[in-house]
Amino acid sequence: MEANLDLISLRIKCPVCGHSLMDDKQLVDNCPSIKLGIAIGENEGVIHLSSVYESYNFISTIKTPEGELIKLSCKHCHTEIKSSSNCIECKSDMISLDLELGGSVSICSKIGCKSHFIKLVDFSFALKKFYIDEDHMGRPFVEDMKSALAEKKPLNEEEEQVEIMKTGTFLQTYCPHCKKSLTEKGSIQLHIHRGKERGLLLLSPYLNVFTSKTTIRIPEDEFIGDLYCIHCHKPLLVEGGKCEECGSEIAKLVVSASKRLVDFHICAKKGCRWHGLSKEDLNDIRLEDSLEW
Picking from 33-37, 68-72, 100-104, 275-279, which range would have the lowest pLDDT averaged per residue?
Answer: 275-279
Q: How far apart are CA 243 and CA 130, in angstroms?
A: 32
The mean-pLDDT minimum among 154-163, 179-188, 198-207, 219-228 falls in 154-163
Whole-Å CA distances, 55 to 125, 138, 213, 259: 23, 21, 6, 36
Within 10 angstroms of residue 290's Cβ, the number of other Cβ atoms is 17
Task: Give me the residues paired with residue 256 across strands.
Answer: 261
- Which of 41-55, 60-74, 256-270 has the lowest average pLDDT? 256-270
Q: Decide: 138 and 170 in contact? Cβ < 8 Å.
A: no
Could you tell me whether strands 31-40 and 22-28 are parallel, antiparallel, or unpaired per DSSP bridges?
antiparallel
12: DSSP letter: E
- The CA-to-CA distance between both ends of the chain, in Å, stands at 43
Pairing of strands 187-194, 197-203: antiparallel
In DSSP terms, 106 is beta-bridged to 96, 117
What number is the average pLDDT over the span 149-163?
Answer: 49
Residue 148: what residue type? Answer: A
DSSP H or E segment with residue 125: helix 123-130
Residue 144: the pLDDT is 40
pLDDT of 230 higher than 90: yes
Q: Judge residue 144's burial from the number of C-beta atoms within 10 Å of its C-beta, 0-12 exposed, 13-18 middle, 19 or more buried.
A: exposed
The rounded mean pLDDT for the chain is 80
2-47 per-position pLDDT tens digit: 444 567 788 899 999 999 999 999 999 988 999 999 999 999 999 9
Percent pLDDT > 70 in the chain is: 75
- The pLDDT of residue 56 is 84
Sequence-distant (6+) residues with CB within 8 A of 176 are 236, 252, 253, 254, 263
pLDDT tens across 75-121, in order?
999 999 988 889 988 999 999 999 887 788 899 999 988 877 766 55
Which residue, 223, 237, 222, 243, is CA-closest to 291?
243
Bridge partners (DSSP) listed for residue 93: 86
The set of residues, in sequence order, having a beta carbon less than 8 Å from that of 252 and lying 6+ positions away, is: 176, 236, 237, 238, 241, 263, 264, 265
Which run of H or of E encompasses 160? helix 157-160
pLDDT for 285 equals 53
Band of pLDDT at residue 293, cut at 50, 70 and 90: very low
